[in-house]
Chains A and B, each alone.
Chain A
Amino acid sequence: MEVDQERSSLFRHQRSLDQPLGSIITFLLPAVTVYLAFTAFPVIRTLFNSFHRVLPGKAALFIGWDNYISVFVKDDIFLRAVKNTITWACLSPVLEVSLALLLALALYAKIPGARFFRIAWFTPVLMSYVVVGIIWIWIYNYDWGAVNVLLRGLGLAEWVKAWLGNPKTALWSLIFVTTWMWTGFNMVVLLAALHSLPSEVLEAGELDNCGWFKKLWFIVIPMVRPTILNLLVLSFVGKMKVFDLVWITTKGGPLWATETVATYVYKRAFEWSTFDLGYASTVASIWFVIILSGVLLLTWLFRQREKLEY
């Protein structure tokens, strides 16, 4: 009996040494507190608000699913914002990552001036969206913007447009800007991935008389696939939340051609002459679910079915 008690005591002592509860709490508490205060609470509060009418100085009024019904049934601006954002979020990652891969391959192949190009292509991402927005407003300016000046210089005056002022071209013009801005970042990440590839595999491919395209398609891309997936997901999430660039350049116009869900949420929360945060919270909650689903779908689509061995 005494032996059993001693063993039990020893076991408890050992467990307390393995899992020191006090230390665990001490180390986790700051991070958990920050997470709860600045991530979990705002998310839960936004969900709560989405079912209420929230006005200053008054208790939140429960309105059930009213806001959700309005968003899906009555709100055509929201639907346009969704269409624009999804177009942007589906197109941009593909453009950015594929262009970035080409640029990374060019640098990997050590083209002349590689060091210069690496810096030049990466520079746009170092600028804030505000600066980028202002620069591209100038570039797209109808009268003296570089694009129209170039077109006039090439004798293509009939192509001259108010690029950001025309509903047919505004969204594409902005997609071009984000592609210009983020391709360099993707390129640097892919370049790092390319440099970490085992040289034996590439050399083995060369011994097997693989051409450059086959080497790219059957060796390089499968091996950098996890990096590509991460970049696609990052780009997708970024474009699903795009706000700054649109706000600086077009504020969602003309005729909602560049309205995104993020700009629409801001307008509903702060610009529509109402203090009610409920409706904006509803849109934000719906969008949160959609982004989460999109990320899960992307991860599932690009999952690695077979583990690469080399």
Chain B
Amino acid sequence: MMKTKQLFISVTVIFCFAMTAVSFCLAADKTITLWSHWADHETKRAFVEGAAKTFEAKHPGVKVSIIWYEKTALYASLKTALRAGQAPDIFYAEPEQSEYMENNLLYDLSKGLKWSAIEDWAKEAWSYKGGVYGFPLEAWTVELYYNKKMLADLGVKLPPSGQLGQAAFLDLVKKTKAKGITPISLGAGDRPYPGAFLTHEAILKKLGLDDYDKLLKGKLSWSDPRVVSALNYVKQIVDAGAMPPSFSSLKLGESHFYFHTKPGSLMFLMGSFYPSRAFNPPDKGGQPPDFPLGIMQYPGLDNAACNDCKSITIGGSYVVNAASKEPALAIELLNTMVTPEMGNKWLETVLVQTGIKADPGKIKGPYAQYFRDLADASKGKKYYLDLPQGVLRGKAKEVFAQVVNQAFPAGLIGVDEVVKQMNASFKE
């Protein structure tokens, strides 16, 4: 009897110790989960993984588990996981995904994140009904790159402002085409936005920031004479043969190659994330080492409200899941990336702009001049914060992708059809 009692007490004590040890271990090993796009973007992965290691070193007992995806797969997984309450603590998102905010799925970062180290315009992009919901890591503007040598060979000189007038730009397109060179490399084969750059930048300049915003929010008709005038100008450029014949099926990566290597085009209207591909070695799809890259301004339009306006958009950002059990730690992980040093590191290694306050003047290395040129091209500009794809919703977004991104610049439809389709899309 005594033996049985002793055995019972021993087992109970061992069990209690074991349970305490297990619970201690569980408490000590917290894991912050992060799902991110950029599976095939080596430099971006290195940047985020570096920050995660720094965070782990500062927080013993906390691990960061990162799963890298391609964007489409990530979005599909997230939509399912969020519905099922199984999403990670932190995930990649872009400000256009306001459905996350509309459905209260994101944690408000307005108090935890070090906003003093983030650009105001970048913060603005993630502001929604009094809260701020995303850490804007990646940013880019729409830029008109060109081949300096080719332009010189055509005998055209840019004005000091770098901005040709409406007629001069159209002449340049015609002149280039007459020489058998494709004037502008652009493709809409795999993205819903680059084909629309030419059109929405013209409309933005013609309308100015406020009316452009109204247009994208369905408060201004696409039949407005200024919109029609901008569309007519773009139609002239398209009809002059500005685009590659393979425009409809040309993919984003291919359009880069088309511009700088084969067959080569005079200009390339692209996001300022251009260097993330073009500054790779040529055998990895980068531009030739001696490529004479220049940045000019999108042409100024006649009677435009704002020829200094251009589009800027926040790309890859990180958000914290509203259902996260460790929001403070998740925000702390993001704060590891929010320093001027990390901002400069992003510019130097990823070669794309960022929402973190950084100083391009401090960048050294072979691409320092590029960042100075980009900074010059951005001086005195007024920005519309987002691309149409980010502002439009539902059917208008789908129609924009099919009509303005693809069919119109491909020369498949005219101005009247664009106006009709876009106006109709806002009626639903």
Chain B residues near A271 (CB, 8 Å)? 398
**Contact call B248/A255, Cβ cutoff below 8 A:** no
Q: How near does chain B come to A61, taking the closest CB pair, in angstroms? A: 13
State A255–B190 Cα separation when bound (angstroms).
14
Chain A nearest CB from B18 CB (Å) reads 36
Interface membership of B103, Cβ < 8 A? yes
Cα(A55)–Cα(B104), bound, Å: 11
A164 within 8 A of B: yes
Q: Is A77 in contact with chain B by the CB < 8 A criterion?
A: yes
> In the complex, A270 Cα to B413 Cα: how many Å?
28
In the complex, the answer to whether A255 meets B413 with C-beta atoms within 8 Å is: yes
B121 at the interface (CB under 8 A from A): no
B398 and A272 form a contact (CB under 8 A): yes
* Contacting pair B99 A254 (CB below 8 A): no
Contact of B247 among A57, A165, A251 (CB under 8 A): A165
Residue total for B at the interface (Cβ-Cβ under 8 A):
35
Question: Which residue from A57, A162, A273, A274 sits with its C-beta under 8 Å from B104?
Answer: A57
Q: Mark B385-401, 1 if CB is under 8 A from A, else 0.
A: 00000000111011001
**Residues in B whose Cβ lies below 8 Å from that of A270:** 75-76, 79
For residue A56, CB closer than 8 A to chain B, the reply is yes
Write out the residue numbers on chain A whose beta carbons fall within 8 Å of the beta carbon of B248. 162, 164-166, 253-254
Provide the residues of chain A in CB contact with B82, threshold 8 Å.
Answer: 56, 275
B403 within 8 A of A: yes
Interface string of A34-73 (1 = CB under 8 A from B): 0000000000000000000001111000000000000000
Q: Which of A253, A255, A274 contacts B99 (CB 8 A)?
A: A274
Tell me the smallest distance from the CB of B91 to a CB of chain A, in Å: 14
Q: Is the Cβ of B247 less than 8 Å from the Cβ of A273? A: no
Closest to A161 in B: B245
Residue A137 interfacial (CB < 8 Å): yes
Which residue of chain B has the shortest Cβ distance to A143 in the bound complex?
B246
Chain B 14-37: CB-based contact to A (< 8 A → 1; otherwise 0): 000000000000000000000000
The interface residues of chain B lying within 8 Å CB-to-CB of A166 are: 248, 412
B83 interface residue per 8 A CB criterion: yes
Contact call B394/A77, Cβ cutoff below 8 A:
no
B398 to A162, Cβ gap below 8 A?
no
Complex CA gap A184/B81 in Å reads 40
Closest partner residue, chain B, to A256 (CB atom): B402
Digitize B275-316: 1 where CB-to-A-CB distance is under 8 Å, 0 elsewhere.
000000000000000000000000000000000000000000
Known contacts A56-B105, A164-B249; A255 and B402 CB within 8 A of each other:
yes
Judged by a CB distance under 8 angstroms, whether B349 is at the interface is no
Of all chain A residues, which has the CB nearest B394?
A272
* Chain B facing A: main interface SS: loop
Q: If the complex has contacts A143-B246, A275-B79, are A253 and B406 also in contact, measured as CB distance less than 8 A?
A: yes
Residue B428 is within 8 A (CB to CB) of chain A in the complex: yes
Q: A56-B83, A273-B99, A275-B79 are in contact. Are A167 and B412 (CB under 8 A)?
A: yes
Instruction: Output the least CB separation between A142 and chain B (Å).
Output: 3
- Chain B residues positioned under 8 Å from A141 (CB to CB): 246, 249
Task: Report B-chain residues with C-beta under 8 Å of the C-beta of A83.
Answer: none
CA distance A172 to B189 in the complex (A): 18
Cβ contact within 8 Å between A255 and B247: no
Q: Which of A56, A58, A142, A255 sits near B406, CB closer than 8 Å?
A: A255
Q: Could you tell me the dominant secondary structure of chain A's interface residues?
A: loop
| A225 at the binding interface (Cβ < 8 Å) | no
How many Å lie between the Cα of A226 and that of B244 in the bound state? 50
Chain A: interface size category: 20 to 34
Asked if B393 contacts A273 (CB within 8 A), the reply is yes
Taking CB atoms, residues of chain A closer than 8 Å to B99 are 273-275
A303 CB–B CB distance under 8 Å: no
Contact status A137-B403, CB under 8 Å:
no
Q: Does B196 contact A (CB under 8 A)?
A: no
> In the complex, what distance in Å separates the CA atom of A141 from the CA atom of B251?
11
- Number of CB contacts from chain A to chain B under 8 A: 88
Q: Are B393 and A140 in contact (CB under 8 A)?
A: no
* Contact for A254 among B76, B79, B406, CB less than 8 A: B406
Q: Is B397 within 8 A of A272, CB to CB? A: yes
Chain B 60-89 against A: per-residue CB contact (8 Å), 1 yes, 0 no? 000000000000000110010011000000
Least CB distance, B248 to chain A, in whole angstroms = 2
Contacts of A167 in B (CB 8 A): 407, 412
A31 to chain B, nearest CB (A): 26
Nearest A residue to B100, CB-CB: A275
> B190: which A residues are within 8 A, CB to CB?
251
Complex Cα distance A55/B96, Å? 18
From 255 to 302 in chain A, residues with beta carbon under 8 angstroms from any chain B beta carbon are 255-256, 267, 270-275
Q: Is A74 an interface residue (CB 8 A)?
A: yes
Q: Does any Cβ of A come within 8 Å of B98's Cβ?
A: yes
Judging by beta carbons under 8 Å apart, are B246 and A162 in contact?
A: yes
B79 close to A253 (CB less than 8 A): no
Task: State whether A275 touches B103 (Cβ < 8 A).
Answer: yes
Given that A164-B249, A275-B103 are known contacts, is A77 also in contact with B395, CB under 8 Å in the complex?
yes
Which residue of B has the minimal Cβ distance to A144? B246
Nearest chain B CB to A63's CB is how many angstroms away? 16
**Alpha-carbon distance between A275 and B413 when the two chains are bound, in angstroms:** 32
Does the CB pair A254–B412 fall under 8 Å? Answer: yes
For B398, the chain A residues whose CB sits under 8 A away are 77, 267, 271-272
Give Cα distance in the complex from A140 to B246, angstroms. Answer: 10
B410 sits at the interface (CB 8 A) = yes
Say yes or no: B413 contacts A140, CB within 8 Å: no
Q: In this assembly, does B97 line the interface, its C-beta being within 8 Å of a C-beta of chain A?
A: yes
CA distance A165 to B249 in the complex (A): 6
Residues on A with C-beta less than 8 A from B247 are 162, 165
* Chain A residues with CB under 8 A of B246: 141-143, 162, 165
Q: Please, how many angstroms separate the alpha-carbon atoms of A275 and B407 in the complex?
A: 28
Query: Does B407 lie within 8 Å of A255, measured CB to CB?
Result: yes
Asked if A254 and B407 sit within 8 Å, CB to CB, the answer is yes
Q: How far is the CB of B253 from chain A (nearest CB, A)?
A: 13
The answer for the CA separation of A162 and B411 in the assembled complex, in Å, is 12
Contacting pair A57 B103 (CB below 8 A)? yes
Output the nearest chain A residue to B407 by Cβ-Cβ distance: A255
* Cα distance A137–B253 in the bound complex, in angstroms: 15
- A72–B370 Cα distance when bound, in Å, is 54
Q: Is the CB of B96 within 8 A of A273?
A: yes
The smallest beta-carbon distance between B105 and chain A, in angstroms, is 7
Residues of A within 8 A of B406 (CB): 165, 253-255
List 15 additional contacts besides A253-B407, A254-B402; criterion CB under 8 Å: A55-B103, A56-B82, A74-B428, A137-B249, A142-B246, A142-B249, A164-B248, A165-B410, A251-B190, A253-B406, A254-B410, A255-B403, A270-B75, A272-B395, A275-B79
Please name 5 pairs of A and B residues whose Cβ atoms are closer than 8 Å in the assembled complex, sorted by A: A74-B428, A141-B249, A143-B244, A252-B402, A253-B248
4 nearest A-B pairs in the assembled complex, by CB-CB distance: A165-B248, A142-B246, A56-B83, A165-B249
